[in-house]
A and B are shown apart, each in its own frame.
Chain A
Amino acid sequence: MSDLIEFKHVSFSYHQMEEEAEPIPVLHDVNLSVKKGEFVAVLGHNGSGKSTLAKHINAILQPSEGVVYVDAIDTRDDNMIFEIRQHVGMVFQNPDNQIVATIVEEDVAFALENLGVEPKEIRKRVDAALKGVGMFAYREHAPHQLSGGQKQRVAIAGIIAMNPDCIVLDEPTAMLDPHGRREVLKTIQRLNKEHGTTVILITHFMDEAASADRVVVVDGGKVLMDDVPKAVFLQVERMKEIGLDVPQVTELAYELNKAGVPFAPDVLTVEEFAAEFKRMMEA
């Protein structure tokens, strides 16, 4: 499979308002590639540069040094910006601040209207997108009548209506209650599995990251780890050092191991833990 997104030696600094002030460096020499259809989780604490990284993927920000390619298009090419944004959709943290229209279906149609798609085609794609996120029954509701999880699913529908190859989600569940989180996560996973959409999920929640194909850990503007979830979360000490957690069951297994209990440390989910616990009891 070819790489859909490729970061090559990307550095980025924010310029401050005052002319003479030093620019603030955020990303340092980031190298990263994402294949079509992958589910990548990006972890990092606040200020690690993970949101800045995300904004490079759809040309909201352009690298100060290095190159970002999206489907082999250089994001510094200003003529291709809308092409890139059709390829890569982005969902943000606060569901209230990304819904434009006063009716759900009108909001889902927003991107397609901007792109100048034929009205009949818009109707078709809006209906499909709303069905895809399970919000078709709410198509005529006003956004403020919906719960946080439902609003976030509408925002996702607004993106998938564009038929993007890739969706970048910047902490989409941070403001939601557990129920809303589950809804949104399920929607994202289904998109990845059934439609083959590439997903880049930036998150604080370790259990969300555990279900990804790959976990990228960002700290201080650098990519620290880039591996399958098991390989990343097994490095419990290192994760703690940079201020990140590992899934609770992984930490428990790690502590058991440290205490001398013969317990396999590579468990990420409650189910895996239960199976391992059963094996240990029987042994």
Chain B
Amino acid sequence: MLSDITIGQFFPGKSIVHRIDPRAKILLVLAFIIVLFIVRNPVSFLLIAVFLIGAYIVAKIPANAIWRGVKPILPLIVFTSILNLFFVDGEPLVHWWIFKITAEGISVAVLMAIRIVCLIIGSLLLTYTTSPIALTDAIERLLKPLKVIRFPVHEMAMMMTIALRFIPTLLEETDKIMSAQKARGADLETGSIVKRAKALIPILIPLFVSAFRRAEDLALAMECRCYRGGEGRTRMKQLYFSRLDAAAASVTGVLFAAAILMDIFLPKFI
């Protein structure tokens, strides 16, 4: 039951989008987010949307994956839209009791909704096309300069790797413990929320004990394999920026520049 949960939502593949260096992808997504919050005109957003859809098609990500990503944040979008709709000042179009809807309010609501949706779809493209291990690797390398201020970059990346490694193992274990407790008559599915939360205790305690035991074993095994932190460590897989990355950066760069330029000359939402 629990083993159905997939980690991250990586769709393995060999498309151009998959093959872009993970560091380049992270930086491009960051640039994308900044552009999203600069531009305010419909044509720029149309351009961005076309670009996003094109990227999804190239990466061969199924359309329902986009929907699955957007669905959980729909309430948030509706909520912010309603707030913007009623609480932005301006010429009232409709006025009823204490509620008034302004043209500005509608514009802001639409703008924010489009921004959030684009934001989600754009960053999902990163996790859909990059394996968690590649992401961790890229983050470690991108944050390397922070070592100067004694930020433990390597240790953080190592913790992320080990967490990723043990998620499936611990899920499997949770499943086993749940079955074992059910076999002893534990009731996990009925009763009030408080009762069900209490029923989780006999599952969490064995899970914690076992996790600590695993941690001890793993530490020993790492020591036996000469682990001594990030100092003097090399990596088997090197990351190289290739011509593909340069091409991807130029294409998106031109696009982002176009989106911002259009924003200067075209009528805006607000």
- Residues of A bordering B, CB below 8 Å: 58, 60, 82, 85-86, 89-90, 92, 94, 96-103, 105-106, 109-119, 122-123, 126, 142-144, 155, 158-159, 162
Q: Do B235 and A119 touch (CB < 8 A)? A: yes
Known: A106-B133, A106-B237. A100 touches B224 (CB 8 A): no
CB distance from A22 to the nearest CB of B (A): 24
Whether the pair B161, A100 counts as a contact (CB closer than 8 A) is yes
Whole-angstrom distance between the alpha carbons of A175 and B220 in the complex? Answer: 18
**Does B195 sit at the interface, judged by CB under 8 A?**
no
B220 & A60 in contact (Cβ 8 Å cutoff): yes
Q: Contacts A110-B225, A158-B225: A143 and B165 contacting too (C-beta < 8 A)?
A: yes
Cα(A118)–Cα(B235), bound, Å = 8
A sample of 8 more A-B contacts (CB under 8 A), given A106-B237, A119-B234, is A100-B161, A100-B222, A102-B164, A113-B233, A113-B236, A119-B238, A143-B165, A162-B226
Among B133, B213, B234, B237, residue most surrounded by chain A Cβ atoms (within 10 Å): B234
Known: A60-B220, A97-B214, A101-B165. Contact between A109 and B236, CB under 8 A? yes
Assuming the contacts A101-B161, A101-B165, asked whether A144 and B236 have C-beta atoms less than 8 A apart, the reply is no
How many Cβ-Cβ contacts under 8 Å join chain A to chain B?
A: 93
Is there contact, CB below 8 Å, between B226 and A96?
no
Q: Which 3 residue pairs spanning A and B have beta carbons closest together? A: A98-B221, A97-B217, A111-B225
Q: B251 to nearest A CB, angstroms?
A: 29
A99 to B236, CA, bound (A): 17
Q: Out of B213, B220, B226, B232, which one reaches A111, CB within 8 Å?
A: B226
B218 touching A98, Cβ below 8 Å: yes
Interface assignment of B37: CB less than 8 Å from any CB of chain A: no
Check B234–A118 contact: CB distance below 8 A: yes
- Asked if B92 is at the interface of the complex by the 8 Å CB criterion, the answer is no
- Knowing A114-B226, A115-B226 touch, does A100 contact B232 (C-beta < 8 A)? no
Contact: A114 with B218, CB < 8 Å? Answer: no
Cα distance A27–B172 in the bound complex, in angstroms: 37
A100 touches B234 (CB 8 A): no
B234 touches A113 (CB 8 A): yes
- CA A110 to CA B233, docked complex, whole Å: 10
**CB-based contact A92/B220 at 8 Å:** yes
Contact B227 A144 (CB under 8 A): no
Alpha-carbon distance A100/B218, docked complex (angstroms): 7
When the two chains form their complex, are residues B169 and A114 in contact, meaning their CB atoms are under 8 A apart?
Answer: no
For the complex, is B162 an interface residue (Cβ under 8 Å from A)? yes
Which among B165, B226, B228, B233 has the highest number of chain A CB atoms within 10 Å? B226
Minimum CB distance partner of B136 in chain A: A102
In the complex, chain B residues whose CB is within 8 Å of the CB of A114: 225-228, 233
Residues of B within 8 A of A144 (CB): 168-169, 172
- Residue pair B225, A96 in contact (C-beta under 8 Å): no
A126, B223: Cβ atoms closer than 8 Å = no
Are A85's CB and B226's CB within 8 A?
A: yes
Q: How far is the CB of A158 from chain B (nearest CB, A)?
A: 6
CB-CB under 8 A from A110, the residues of chain B are 222, 225, 227
Asked whether, in the complex, the Cβ of A94 is within 8 Å of the Cβ of B220, the reply is no
B165, B169, B225 — which one has the most chain A CB atoms within 10 A of its CB?
B225
- Alpha-carbon separation in the docked complex, A98 to B225 (Å): 10
A113 in contact with B235 given A100-B165, A144-B168 (CB within 8 Å): yes
For residue A84, which residue of chain B has the nearest CB? B226
Interface SS majority for chain A: helix
**Size bracket of the B interface:** 20 to 34
A-B contact pairs, 29 of them (CB 8 A): A60-B223, A85-B224, A89-B225, A90-B221, A90-B224, A92-B221, A94-B217, A96-B169, A97-B213, A97-B214, A97-B217, A97-B221, A98-B218, A100-B161, A100-B165, A102-B164, A103-B133, A111-B225, A112-B234, A113-B233, A114-B225, A114-B233, A116-B234, A118-B234, A119-B236, A122-B234, A126-B236, A143-B165, A159-B225
Known contacts A109-B236, A116-B232, A118-B234; is-contact A99 B223 (Cβ 8 Å): no
Give Cα A144 to B7, complex, Å.
Answer: 12
B132 near A102: Cβ-Cβ < 8 Å: yes
Inter-chain CA distance A96–B162, complex, in Å, is 12
Question: Given the complex, which residues of B lie within 8 Å of A126, measured CB to CB?
Answer: 236
Contact with A along B223-254 (1 / 0, CB 8 A): 11111100011111110000000000000000
Query: Which of the listed residues A82, A86, A111, A114 has the most CB atoms from chain B within 10 Å of its own CB?
Result: A114
Residues of A within 8 A of B224 (CB): 58, 60, 85, 89-90
Rounded to whole Å, the gap between the CB of B168 and the closest CB of chain A is 4
B221, closest chain A residue (CB)? A98
Q: B112-141 toward A: CB 8 Å interface, digit per residue (1/0)?
A: 000000000000000000001100000000
Contacts of B162 in A (CB 8 A): 100
Bound Cα distance from A105 to B236, whole angstroms:
9
- Interface pair A82/B228, CB less than 8 Å apart: yes
Contact residues in A for B225 (Cβ distance below 8 Å): 85, 89, 100, 110-111, 114, 158-159, 162
User: Do residues A96 and B214 form an inter-chain contact, with CB atoms below 8 A?
Assistant: yes
Residues in B neighbouring A142, C-beta threshold 8 A? 168
